[in-house]
Structure 1
Amino acid sequence: MSAKPDTNSRSTTVGQPEHESPFPSLMSKVPEITLLFWIIKMMSTTVGETGADFLAVDMGFGLVGTSLVMGTIFFATLLAQIKARSYIPWLYWTTVLLISVFGTLITDIMTDQFGVPLTVSSAVFSVALIITFAIWYRVEHTLSIHSIFTRRRELFYWAAILFTFALGTAAGDLVSEGMGAGYQLSLFLFGGLIAVTALAYYTFGANAILTFWIAYVLTRPLGASLADMLTKPTAEGGLGLGATGTSELFLVTIVVLVGYLTVTRKRSTTPIVGSTD
């Protein structure tokens, strides 16, 4: 959902907390919620699904080997993101992309390596996400992404995102495969739920923070369903495009969009020559 003033948090206006941030440069570390944000987010979830399959299956690294490598890269990138003093588009979205792959691998390992039913993993990640939100709200008194101006809030933010990706993977697989809905029906189902969430926000004035996180969770199974529909063989209900080509296509698109955001952000923050401001 796009940003709207939230009267239930400590913010009086969008992106402007009631109290000044002790770390002003951290105010811009989370991007504005625009259409491009949701497009890149959805594509990142798709690449997370196809990328995990490509590395684990097509490249033959296996789930455990892929998880160790991607986990190391992810945590190193997350550390760089947390240490950054301002919003850097390529770093932020690289972190999201890697957390998407890592979250997918966590669910796949639980399902394929340890035989944990998707119903159980979905329930576990749901509880983990609820607990994260509960502690976050109890400590910080808000779940608004426009109030993330301390390291602690940023850690809560990324913990929540990790659980949304893991939950989205489990829930998406549960609906499309476990319940036999198929990839196309799952795609329309999760897309429809996102549309209902958007309608509740834009038409009926539903809480901005609540609708944002609902949409954020739902884009994960939406992206996973899209990835499976594109990559799975036609005999399994997919289009048979394969993980390699699909991953490359979406990854290139993400790079182009993030590059655009980087260029436009630099232009918007570059002083105009001759300006007296």
Structure 2
Amino acid sequence: MSDVSPAAPPSAASAPALSITGLIKRFGPKLAVDNINLDVPVGSFYGLVGPNGAGKTTTLSMATGLLRPDAGSIRILGVDVWADLVAAKRLVGVLSDGVALFDRLTGEQLVSYAGLLCGLDRDSVAERTRDLLALLDLQEAAGTLVVDYSAGMTKKIALACALVHAPRLLVLDEPFESVDPVSAANIRDILTGYVSTGGTVIVSSHSMDLVQRMCDHVAVVSQGRIVAAGTVDEVRAGSTLEDRFVELVGGRRHAEGPSWLRSS
């Protein structure tokens, strides 16, 4: 089996897996990301949570070189993302929520293409593609066009593309959305194993229960700012992560609803 364990670059020995300082992004008059500062330790399973429109996806897009910030600095294992984009992208695997894939390729072709784009030789690509398709239970769908995949299968093939070059950091935006419980459990096992060998995972999710069970660190984003960050136990402060999240971001309604909505 080909080795897809993450291999650290020489300069990354003491650097955080991801370091964000003074990050700002505007879309017209809207301040989507408002001076975010965040350090993600190497070897952590880091959750990023927040309500819709809080700035999570925008932050992750800037952190992984998909969207240029208006201000601030981003380093992946000591490499300045926007000063050396090619070097930074070698260190990170990305699964972006809602980003279109080349879905007129088969699953096998898509993963192979991702590996070749990362500079791997053809023999390594072929071996790693076989390993990943087996790992994610996609062997039978290897020759099927991705456009014909279910939503859950599409998530899994996108994860295979993110893993094929054995990155040091994985950034996953809603990786479990539309994924069945068995596949989700298998993906969690894969990610846990990846972290145990020295990799770092950042996962954005709306599932507080999943983040509380899976992650060791968490940051809560609201209105473009980090309102809490630390270990999961530190952030939840003796409560459940869901209750603490609602307390931090606000917006909960305690009304019973209109009278016509009640059964009696």
TM-score norm. by structure 2 comes to 0.31
More helix by share: 1
More strand by share: 2
